[in-house]
Amino acid sequence: MSNNPLFDNIQKKTGVNMGEVLKLVNSIQNANFKDEATVRQIIKQVGQIANKPVNKETEDRLVNTIINNTEQVNFNTIAKMLDKKK
């Protein structure tokens, strides 16, 4: 557990390791979202943290959307995309 009671509480309620979330957030901050390999890696990490497996078709669709998106992409953008149904 961390030294932050808020993070500890979130981790207990969700089962999501806050250390992994913070590590992912740090990697996203300076990520090149026009680089396909980087985008695929981030999608896989978000899926693992969210405990939502991402199949190849969904990953391809997300990569295409993110790489061709003119708006800013962040953790919430990717998480929302993973939650959307086909």
> What is the extent of the structural domain holding 67?
5-83
pTM exceeding 0.75: no
Residue 50: the pLDDT is 84
Residues of the chain scoring pLDDT < 50: 85-86
**Termini Cα distance of the chain:** 37
Tell me what percent of the residues of the chain surpass a pLDDT of 90: 23
Residue 86: the pLDDT is 46
Q: How many domains, in total, are found in the chain? A: 1
Give me the DSSP letters along 16-46. Answer: --HHHHHHHHHHHHT--TT-HHHHHHHHHHH
Tokens of 28: 């996203």
Residue 11: the pLDDT is 82
